[in-house]
Every structure is written in structure tokens, then in C-alpha cells.
Amino acid sequence: MEQPAVLVIGAGISGIQASFDLASRGIKVYLVEKSPSIGGRMAQLDKTFPTMDCSMCILAPKMIDCSHHPNVELLTYSEVKEVKGSPGNFTVKVVKKPRYVDISKCTGCGICVDNCPVEVTNEFDEGLGMRKAIYMPFPQAVPRAMTIDKENCIECGLCEKMCEAGAVDLEQKQEEIELKVGAIIVATGFDIFDPSQIPPYGYGRHKDVITALELERLLCASGPTGGHLVRPSDGKVPKTIAFIQCVGSRDRRHGNPYCSSICCKYAVKDAVLIKEHDPSARVCIFYIDLRAFGRGFQEFVNRAKTEYGIRFIRSNPGEITYDPETNGLSIWYEDTVTKKIENLKFDLVVLSAALIPRKDVGDLVKVLGIEVDPYGFLKSSSSISDPVDTTVPGIFACGYCLGPKTGDIPDSVSQGSAAASRAAEVIVGGK
């Protein structure tokens, strides 16, 4: 009997690693991704901590390796609709959403993008930049093919006329395919807590109050500003920048009591990045306590203080107010070291918002029949001895969908490998 395949749901760094590991062992992998390209959250990042390596430079080779592997079949812009069966013998229904472009013909030349008359906000840039109705989410996208966003498309047909490869197919229909797999790996990742749920911080009310992921896009050379850090409100270079930690995490009032586990690290990294962009900038980090565990990280924090002159203020600020005359923001806080109520003025405020489960993960959880914890993260069958096993045999998980006990990129990668190894046991150990 033919060796069964593995289904991997979610093509972020964790899912990519799991797929590549399995494929390298000679196991067939179906890698299903909801969005038009693989890459996930890591593709949105500028640099990684604490080594300040370019995120895309590490990710892109992995994306290419994985997608070019003969044992990996990519199913992008697709979603899992139904799962039946038992370990070693699952039947999975996958819906391939119509992208109105034939990926086997599209060369990604971009002539259609140049001619498309519709501009909408770009979700890959967290809504800060614009894209066309026919688009590729980012330049290094895999597969290198366009997608038409039919919600915003006006069906003018210009892209179809301009395409020399004849790849545009406005008549494409939704397709449903059935897969036979032996094991399933879930790697759906995380979403960002919406800070507008904390009204005193004014997110959504003031343009210059942004989330850390938005900052990441502003700092990134492939971002909406070409890597120039400017304020969203007036396009000026901010001279004073504040980070507020634990926005929506470690906060019983607004939902999430857990520590999101990565915010201290990326905030320090982003603060250093800002100083590298503009050494005259003044950067403050408001923190409850600084969780600098992990290799090389405490050293990194120390360097941020001494070498880069980043100011750390132990406080959980109460509110951010706006002054229309100076277009500036004031943070009101209690310095818990000096025990004084103070306020400081800033040009830009970055909120380190909590990481929460994917908003639509509930649908997938129902399809798979697996359990979640009270916050909506996937439950391990035993968080100590079987951390990557879900509550259903034959279904494994890796990456941040398992919750904040793992956080950073190396953790997600090693979990991807761990889940691949557990899935391989089912495949090889089965018939």
C-alpha cells in the first residue's frame, strides 16, 4: 500500500519547517495556506531578534526550498472544509478559492498591477499602504503569481487584456478537492489584539498610535514607506517614540491574563532599529517587568540601555492624550520606581499588543474536532510530555496556535520539526 501523505494547515515559518522536514524524509505533504502566498507573519517582519538578521533573508530560502521540493504540494488560497477518518486514514476536503489567475501561467511580471485602476488598503502592510485589486502580497511571494481580489475588482478586464501569458481567467470557479492523508499538522499562527478595546490609549482615534506590527511594516524596506520611519498622521519623521508593553496581555480588564511572551523582545529590537535609523531619536519603553529570557537576550537589553541609550520606564501607562496644536501625544503614567505621576510627550506611540488566536480558528477547530483552551489556543494532549499533540490522535500542532508558551521564531521552527517528527511516526509506523 502506498505511504500516506501529511496535511499541513498554515504556511508560516512553523508550517513550512514541518512540511520541509516531512518532505525530506520522503513523505508526501499537502501544504494548505489560506492567503495567496506562503510566508505567514515572519514575512511581515523587518528584522529578527536578538541578532538583527533580516527576516525575509532567512525566510525566503526556506519558502523556496519548501515550495520546490518534489514531495510538497502547495495549496495556496485554500481552506480546509471537512475532515473525516482516523490516524493513518483521514479524508480531507479542501476548498480552493478562485484567484482568477492561472498560477501555472502567471510569471508575476506585474504588468496587470501597473494597469489595474483599483487601489485598496494593503492587509499585508497592516492597512498602512495601498495595493491594487490584482496583486501579489509581497515581492518575494510564493507562488510568484497574482491574485484578484473579487470584492474590490470592478471587472474592467484590463488585466486580462494586458497579460501576455494569458494567465488571467475571470471565469475561474471555486474548486473542491479531496485528499487522503495519514496525519494532520495545524500551524495557523496568531492574530493581534485590537487595542481600540482599550479606549484610553486612543488607538483608532489617533493616527500616530500604532501597533508593533504596523511599526514593523513602517521600518521594513519593502514596506509602504520604503523603510523610512515616518508618522502616519503627517509624514514627518518622529523624534520621540514610546513603546507601551502588555497592551491587552497580562490585563484582566481587557481579556487576556497571559503574557504573550515575545513583546519584550521585539520591542527592544524595534527600539534599537529606530535608533539605527535615526540616532537622534529618543526612545522610551514602558514596561511592567522586562522578560528577557532566552539566549543572548539579556545582553541585548543591556546593550539597548548602555550603547543605544534607550530609556526603560517601569510603568503601565494610564492614558494617552492628544494635543491638536502640536499634533503630539502625551503619555500619562505612574513611574513605579519613583512612585510619581508624570507625563511625557511623544511624536509616535507604539503599542505592543497581545497575541491572540486567529480570529477564524474556531471554524477549523470544529472541522478537526480538537479542543482549545479558554483563550482559544489549541490544547496539547499533555503540555509537558506531548506538547505538539492535540487532543485528537493523528492531529498535531506547532507554532503560536498552541499559545504563548512558545513564542519566537526559533521556538516555532523547532516545534515545526517536532510536529513533523510526530506525524512521521504515524505515517511510517502505520501501514
Partner 1 sequence: MKYAMFWGCLIPAREPNYEVSVRKIMPAFGVKLVEMEGTNCCAPFGIQSLDYMSWLALAARNLCIGEEMGLDIVTLCNDCYESLLMVNTMLKTDHELKNQVNEILAEVGKEYKGKIDVKNMIDVLYDDVGVKKVKDAVKKPFTGLKVATQPGCHLTKPKRIHFGERKFDAFDELVRATGAETIDYDRRQSCCGGPLRGINDELARDVARMKLISIKNAGAECIVTVCPFCFLELDMSQLEIKRHFKEEYNLPVLHFAELLRMAMGMKLDDWETKSHRVPLNPLLKDRLQEG
The residues binding partner 1 (CB under 8 A) are 199-200, 202, 205, 253, 319-324
Cis ω for the linkage preceding 50 (within 30 of 0)? yes
- 3-state SS assignment for residue 386: strand
Buried b (16+ CB within 10 A) or exposed e, 20-48: bbbbebebbbbbbbbbbbbbbbbbbbbbb
Exposed, middle or buried by CB within 10 Å (0-12, 13-18, 19+), for 8? buried
Provide the β-strand partners of residue 249.
256
- C-alpha grid cell for residue 236? 514627518
Closer to partner 1 by CB, 26 or 199: give it: 199
Provide the β-strand partners of residue 286.
244, 313
Closer to partner 1 by CB, 324 or 374: give it: 324
Report, in Å, the least distance between residue 194 CB and partner 1: 13
Report, in Å, the least distance between residue 114 CB and partner 1: 40
Closer to partner 1 by CB, 82 or 234: give it: 234
Report, in Å, the least distance between residue 319 CB and partner 1: 6
CA distance 20 to 300: 31
Handedness of CA 343, 344, 347, 353 (dihedral sign): negative
CA distance 369 to 367: 6
Provide the β-strand partners of residue 353.
247
Closer to partner 1 by CB, 322 or 375: give it: 322
Provide the β-strand partners of residue 175.
96
Closer to partner 1 by CB, 205 or 305: give it: 205
Report, in Å, the least distance between residue 375 CB and partner 1: 17
Report, in Å, the least distance between residue 59 CB and partner 1: 39
Closer to partner 1 by CB, 295 or 339: give it: 339
Report, in Å, the least distance between residue 320 CB and partner 1: 7
